[in-house]
Each structure stands twice: as structure tokens, then as C-alpha cells.
């Protein structure tokens, strides 16, 4: 070997932003239990801040809401250029907590995005208090998963923590996310 040969210690890892961009898919629990203690109102406020961050980073965002008996896409995926709290005002709460339906709808959206933009990095954010018996399967087409756990007072079920552990995901409280 020559004296100037390339060796392992010459190599350095340089983190680059994903070339395909980023998609943040937010899944919002709009069930009756989220109405307790203004959890849904807090989640909506966090969503406005998260959409603002996505817009500033020129990232795409999508919003899936679930509650009652189903789930539907309310926004995106698109870059949220004109996002504000008026978009969230009509989102109400009540009924059961079909978490599996919300995750399934997000999974469909993420799979479509993966086919359309394979180099895109995909994040799944699930904002819930975890008051459900559903045990959804972790979507395949997602790079990072974050559970934002809105369970606070009273008897804690710990479902967000259990799902985060099972999925190899992060679990944050709203306070940690705002901090």
C-alpha cells in the first residue's frame, strides 16, 4: 500500500437531508375520550405548530382523523402553505377510538407515497390518548414513528407506551414535544 492510501479512519459519515424530501403523516384521535381535559384542543394546537414546522422545512404533510367508527384523510399529502387553525376548527370529537382504522388509512396513504416518491422519508405521528383495545400493525412504508401520548390523569392504561415499544417507535408527551 502506498503511504497516501485511503484507510477507514479517513472516512466520515456526513448526514444529509433526504433527497426525496420528507412526508409527515399526522394521525389525530378525535374520539370521545380526547374531549376529556381539553386533550383534543391541545392536540389541535400542537398540529398547527407541527404543520408550521413542516411548511418551514418545505416538507409535505398529511392529516388523518379517526373517531366514532372510521377514519378519513383531511389534508394532503401536500406542502402546507396556507395552513392555519381554521382548518382544524371543524374537526370535532366523539364516539369510539378506531385506532386501527386510523393507522390503516395512514398506511394506505404512506404506501401510495412510497410508490410515487420512493426516495422520500416518511414519518408517522400518532396523536392519541391510547384509550382503545385496537392493536394495529406498524405500517411498512414508514421510516420513523412517533406516538404523542395524551393520556394524563386518572387510571393510566399505558397503551401508547406499549405500542411504541412494540413498534420500535418514540413516545413523547405533549409537554416534551412543545419543549
Burial of residue 176 (CB within 10 Å: 0-12, 13-18, 19+) is exposed
Helix, coil or strand: residue 50: helix
Domains, in order of start, for the chain: 19-178 (3.40.50.410)
Q: Which helix (H) or strand (E) holds 74?
A: strand 70-78
Cα distances from 75 to residues 51, 82, 109, 155, 160, in angstroms, run 11, 12, 11, 34, 24
Cα distances from 35 to residues 50, 125, 151, 168, in angstroms, run 21, 19, 12, 28
pLDDT digit of tens for each residue in the chain (179 aa)?
A: 456 676 666 566 545 455 679 999 999 999 999 998 899 999 999 998 898 889 889 999 999 999 998 999 988 888 877 666 666 777 778 888 899 999 999 999 999 999 999 999 999 999 999 999 889 999 999 999 999 999 986 667 889 999 999 999 999 999 998 87
Is the pTM of the predicted complex or chain greater than 0.75?
Answer: yes
Residue the block writes with cell 392536540: 43
3-state secondary structure 106-150: HHHHHHHHHHHCCCCEEEEEEEECCCCCCCCCCCCCCCEEEEEEC
Q: Which helix (H) or strand (E) holds 29?
A: strand 22-29
Amino acid at each position: 500500500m502506498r503511504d497516501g492510501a485511503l484507510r477507514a479512519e479517513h472516512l466520515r459519515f456526513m448526514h444529509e437531508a433526504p433527497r426525496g424530501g420528507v412526508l409527515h403523516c399526522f394521525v389525530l384521535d378525535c374520539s370521545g375520550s380526547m374531549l376529556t381535559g381539553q386533550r383534543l384542543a391541545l392536540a389541535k394546537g400542537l398540529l398547527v405548530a407541527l404543520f408550521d414546522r413542516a411548511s418551514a422545512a418545505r416538507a409535505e404533510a398529511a392529516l388523518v382523523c379517526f373517531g366514532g367508527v372510521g377514519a378519513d384523510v383531511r389534508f394532503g399529502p401536500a406542502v402546507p402553505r396556507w395552513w392555519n387553525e381554521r382548518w382544524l376548527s371543524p374537526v370535532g370529537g366523539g364516539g369510539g377510538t378506531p385506532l386501527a382504522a386510523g393507522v390503516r388509512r395512514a398506511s394506505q396513504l404512506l404506501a401510495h407515497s412510497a410508490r410515487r416518491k420512493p426516495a422520500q422519508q416518511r414519518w408517522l405521528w400518532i396523536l392519541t390518548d391510547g384509550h382503545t383495545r385496537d392493536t394495529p400493525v406498524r405500517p411498512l412504508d414508514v421510516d420513523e414513528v412517533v406516538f404523542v401520548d395524551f393520556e394524563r390523569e386518572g387510571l393510566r392504561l399505558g397503551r401508547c407506551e406499549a405500542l411504541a415499544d412494540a413498534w420500535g417507535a418514540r413516545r413523547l408527551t405533549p409537554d416534551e414535544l412543545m419543549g
